[in-house]
Chain A
Amino acid sequence: MVLTSRGLSRRLIWIFLFTSLAMPLIWLVYLAYSNQLGADPAKELVDELGQWAIRFLILTLCASTFSRRFNIKFLLQHRRMLGLYALLYAVLHLLAVSTFILGWRVDLLIRELTDRPYIMLGMAGLLLLIPLGITSTKGWQKKLGRKWTTLHKLIYPAAMLALLHLVLLIRASILEAIIYALLISLLLIERLFRKRKPKKR
């Protein structure tokens, strides 16, 4: 493959983005490894992974919005990576809960899944993201055509489920939930307006 200068800079951007998005994970692994997650590292790790999953979901939604509104192609080109990272952090979040908090005790796992609305909501959000991850490749995009766009709208309910999952976990402070809720609603409202415009013409 011949690398043109444009191709090279794209590749550099890709590498830069790829590593920066992995930074929270590397940082968490470092903290865990050096015993800096405090007396209850499991809880800390689970919370952080979950929050990063939501943050990356929000960034993924931002990518479409900003690339359309301000014609920044570069964002759309890397949207897939953002989405896949959101999925990665969500899956790691679930694995961390199962491993470090529930110790893979099947009885506890089943009960958590069947008894607790916040876990069901979070799980549903994660399940919605899985087909999006699988069909994120160029091949699937071509194969599915227009259906691909429709399918990938599943990110909206997924984001809302993740948000609800977080809201149901609130103990005493509503600050983070408010910020995430505000961002997600703004991004979803923007999409409603975007769709209505062509109809009016």
Chain B
Amino acid sequence: MLIGKSSKILSSEITSESAYLSRRSLLKGLGLVAGATSMPSYALTQPKSSDLPLYPGPDWLRPKLESAKTTWSLDEELTPYDSVITYNNFYEFGLNKEDPYERAQNFKTDPWQVEILGEVERPGIYNLEDLLAKVDIEERIYRFRCVEAWSMVIPWLGFSLASLIKQLNPTSNAKYVEFVTLEDPEQMPGQRSLFSTIDWPYREGLRIDEAMHPLTLLAVGVYGQAMPPQNGAPLRLVVPWKYGFKSIKSIVQIRFRETMPQNTWRLTASQEYGFYANVNPTVDHPRWSQATERRLPSSLFNPRIIETQMFNGYEEVAPLYAGMDLSKWY
């Protein structure tokens, strides 16, 4: 640097183009950069090289994702990107696990509006962008345990539901929060099926203290990028200590209520699926055991059968259910 001439950027800080390119090809060689799309900050978990599509998301969301910090980590092997985005239960797009990946690619998730209503000071229809204006996006690596006894480890991007609820200011009558998925048979072939036993739209609910728990996440992305449509874009719930079906996808309505809301699987088979749906190895599903789970991806000769943990290993939520008979409130 020359005396008397101040420059905001030191010339030594400028990376030459060739160095930049070789660094990038090195990263590519290591599988750290997938595809040609520019991906957000390298601090976040990135997909290992994959032939599958990437989901950069709308322009307004990208900077928020890029500035995300990892706030919740796990010492467990991540489920690979390819499995996370191709193995989904999203019955709106079909009953087979690969249906959502195959059928949801044209699902329109931007612009997106969410209606806030019920026992809340600021009801109304919000653009997702405005709803997210004041929240910080974090990366959180959570276990995900499906009621069907398989599980994954997933790097979500999102924000605590509590931070949104505080902004919306629910009234003291708000004892529960209800969530509703989009109903749009034109875009969602599963909603047109004549042989489905589900009454659309999909709905879920949480008790207000569960909703306010710091672990409860509203996710807008996964694997360092925006949420793929098959994973519930653009906005989905993630409640890591509950079975996966509680983590409702593609949310269009959030209602604060005084009474316990219904939830879709309880409506479909109430003797099998309850309101709480906490992961619990000691309370079996009537048709299969919940004592163990298969950590995906499994292979035939290495089925990766592991013991299921109480509250999926998130023991800190136990006080929420103090004194409750969890075999009754399954």
Question: CA of A174 to CA of B269 in the docked complex: distance in angstroms?
Answer: 14
Task: Give the Cβ gap from B183 to chain A, nearest Cβ, in Å.
Answer: 16
Task: Give the Cβ gap from A28 to chain B, nearest Cβ, in Å.
Answer: 11
Residue picked from A32, A39, A173, most chain B C-beta under 10 Å = A39
Q: Which residue of A lies closest to B94 (CB)?
A: A173
The answer to whether B294 and A40 touch across the interface, beta carbons within 8 angstroms, is yes
Question: CA of A39 to CA of B292 in the docked complex: distance in angstroms?
Answer: 17
The answer to whether A173 and B193 touch across the interface, beta carbons within 8 angstroms, is yes
Return chain A residues, CB-CB under 8 Å to B292: 105, 108
The answer, yes or no, to whether A169 is at the interface (CB within 8 Å) is yes
The answer to whether A111 and B296 touch across the interface, beta carbons within 8 angstroms, is no
The answer to whether B296 and A178 touch across the interface, beta carbons within 8 angstroms, is no
The answer, yes or no, to whether A157 is at the interface (CB within 8 Å) is no
Task: Give the Cβ gap from A73 to chain B, nearest Cβ, in Å.
Answer: 38
Given contacts A40-B296, A108-B292, are A173 and B303 in contact (CB under 8 A)?
no
B298 contacts which of A42, A116, A169 (Cβ < 8 Å)?
A42
Given contacts A172-B198, A174-B197, are A108 and B291 in contact (CB under 8 A)?
yes
- Give residues of chain B (263-293) contacting chain A, Cβ–Cβ below 8 Å: 268, 284, 286-289, 291-292
| B: number of interface residues (CB 8 Å) | 31
The answer, yes or no, to whether A43 is at the interface (CB within 8 Å) is yes
The answer to whether B86 and A100 touch across the interface, beta carbons within 8 angstroms, is no
The answer to whether B299 and A41 touch across the interface, beta carbons within 8 angstroms, is yes
The answer to whether B98 and A42 touch across the interface, beta carbons within 8 angstroms, is no
B87 contacts which of A39, A45, A101, A169 (Cβ < 8 Å)?
A39
Task: Give the Cβ gap from A21 to chain B, nearest Cβ, in Å.
Answer: 23
The answer, yes or no, to whether A148 is at the interface (CB within 8 Å) is no
The answer to whether B87 and A172 touch across the interface, beta carbons within 8 angstroms, is no
- Give residues of chain A (102-119) contacting chain B, Cβ–Cβ below 8 Å: 102-103, 105, 108, 111-112, 115-116, 118
A41 contacts which of B95, B198, B289, B298 (Cβ < 8 Å)?
B298
B95 contacts which of A115, A168, A173 (Cβ < 8 Å)?
A173
The answer to whether A39 and B83 touch across the interface, beta carbons within 8 angstroms, is yes
Q: Which residue of A lies closest to B292 (CB)?
A: A108
Question: CA of A103 to CA of B304 in the docked complex: distance in angstroms?
Answer: 9
B297 contacts which of A39, A170, A172 (Cβ < 8 Å)?
A39
The answer, yes or no, to whether B23 is at the interface (CB within 8 Å) is no
Return chain B residues, CB-CB under 8 Å to A115: 284, 289
Task: Give the Cβ gap from B17 to chain A, nearest Cβ, in Å.
Answer: 40
The answer to whether B305 and A103 touch across the interface, beta carbons within 8 angstroms, is yes
Nearest 8 A/B pairs, CB to CB: A39-B87, A39-B83, A175-B195, A39-B297, A39-B296, A103-B305, A173-B195, A173-B95
Q: List 10 A-B contacts (CB under 8 A).
A: A38-B98, A39-B298, A41-B298, A41-B299, A42-B298, A116-B286, A116-B287, A171-B95, A172-B197, A173-B197
Which B residues are closer than 8 A to A by beta carbons?
79, 83, 86-87, 91, 95, 97-98, 148, 150, 193, 195-198, 268, 284, 286-289, 291-292, 294, 296-300, 303, 305
